[in-house]
Structure 1
């Protein structure tokens, strides 16, 4: 953050309170009906990293007169006052996307003086790393996950204010990245929808979609076995692997240093291509194949390693079998335990899968892998756009980079 004296000529440094024309006000959270009735109320989910998401609204009650006092109007700013540290203080500009819409108690609302600041510039500024850092440092709470900010915190947000023409120019420039991000994320949604359709057609309902193909129900023990590995005598110099949930694969975990204790779990080393199953989280999509870059990683004995009979089963095809939500979520019903449930190795090998011949398995896995790879590339592209935008915002909103004068002049009133 630049000091006041370092700002470009004509720019101002002030706190948000100096721009607010309508006092900051918490929302109201009524008891909501299940059925839509033409009235709506927002949730924290409407405030995303990239702006307002209208899809997360809930029906609001018609017979609660207090709701009327919290109806939103175009030009209202909304900021979350309670959330996880990475999400608290998320801010959006309401543009009238939803009619008859109010806001809940976990959000605050305010309006600003548009003779001093444009709504579009301020929305971008309030989502910048400058403000995110301030919010996260100011947030407080006793919960390990949820933190809060209050009215005073919001009022004291530091604001760097260019001239109005330059504000408009900056906002328009940043909107170019917003459009690219939005377009890419819409494409991701479409690709993910198509992937789910392919998963259903090729894996979940093959007998309905692949007439004439011969599929056989088998138990995993007929085509796999559990790897028998030696316990490590030392974990020095080794890195830990984590099996992520929701079918997101395997990652390196540098947050936790593995340690051997007398009563603790033993550790085992794995190689690239090993098929790992988190026995406590299989029903949450906790399984994956170790990629080449994580060769040699270790896990505790809470993770099982499957050895696949390559003459009968494609490892990638098995992953897609497991990745069908209708498959892995149902496994929770057979897991043992009264508290933290766990799938035993014996239960894993008794799981049933439906298999075509090996050639068909490989063909299906190739189609699904290609579709999944497209999604991965698009997500990487979206993240690149977001990173570029964050860098641009940091430079533009502090005056380190300036919009060319001839462009700013186009925004000046005649």
Structure 2
């Protein structure tokens, strides 16, 4: 395993989209619950700039970083948009997207490193350069695949056991 920076594996995506009155919006849920369509009660502002997001991109919530607001854009939300407060990143082929997501969801990343970011305790905003400069321990790509496969298998076994217990 090597200690690297997220910037070695992620490239910020800033494809201009619509304004807030036209954008199909998405958001990142807390505690690793993923990227979902944003429920809007009122029309958004036409002064707010949105950016197009694509399947497989890693996203996080700048204001909810300490609450593990990370996820990968699912295929059904391809082309949806978010503001700069929920940045998105293309993941380089040298990293498995699910492995990168798992590292983001570790307390070492979202809590320990997130606490090092600027801002007050209640309104800590983790900006893109700060996130990309954070470190992670990462194996080669083949081992990343094996770890992700193993953990997904464990998740399926847990879900099956829970279903059987219910």
Q: TM-score, normalised by structure 1?
A: 0.37
Quick one: structure 1 residues 291 and 372, their matched pair in 2 at CA, closer, same or farther if it must change by over 3 Å? farther
* Structure 2: runs of 5 or more not aligned: none
Which of 106, 111, 128 is residue 324 of structure 1 equivalent to? 106
Distance between the aligned counterparts of 1:279 and 1:270, measured in 2?
Answer: 16
Contact 2:66 2:110 in 1 (8 A): yes
Q: Over aligned residue pairs, what C-alpha RMSD do you find?
A: 2.3
Which of 84, 91, 94 is residue 301 of structure 1 equivalent to? 84
Aligned length: 164
Higher helix share: 1
Contact 1:277 1:286 in 2 (8 A): yes
The equivalent residue for 1:367 is 150
Deviation at 1:319, TM superposition (A): 0.9
Say which structure, 1 or 2, has more relative contact order (CA 8 Å, 6+ apart): 2
- Determine which structure has more spread, i.e. the larger CA radius of gyration: 1
Quick one: structure 1 residues 234 and 319, their matched pair in 2 at CA, closer, same or farther if it must change by over 3 Å? closer
Distance between the aligned counterparts of 1:343 and 1:373, measured in 2?
Answer: 33
1:251 and 2:33 aligned? no
Distance between the aligned counterparts of 2:35 and 2:82, measured in 1?
Answer: 11
- Deviating runs (4+, > 3 A) in structure 1? 255-258, 373-379
Quick one: structure 1 residues 285 and 233, their matched pair in 2 at CA, closer, same or farther if it must change by over 3 Å? closer
Deviations 1:253-277 (Å, cap 9, x if unpaired)? 2244451243xx4212212211111
Deviation at 1:235, TM superposition (A): 4.3
Distance between the aligned counterparts of 1:317 and 1:225, measured in 2?
Answer: 16
Q: TM-score, normalised by structure 2?
A: 0.85
The equivalent residue for 1:157 is none
* Structure 1: runs of 5 or more not aligned: 1-214, 386-414
The equivalent residue for 1:345 is 128
Superposed, 1:58-73 pairs within 5 Å as none
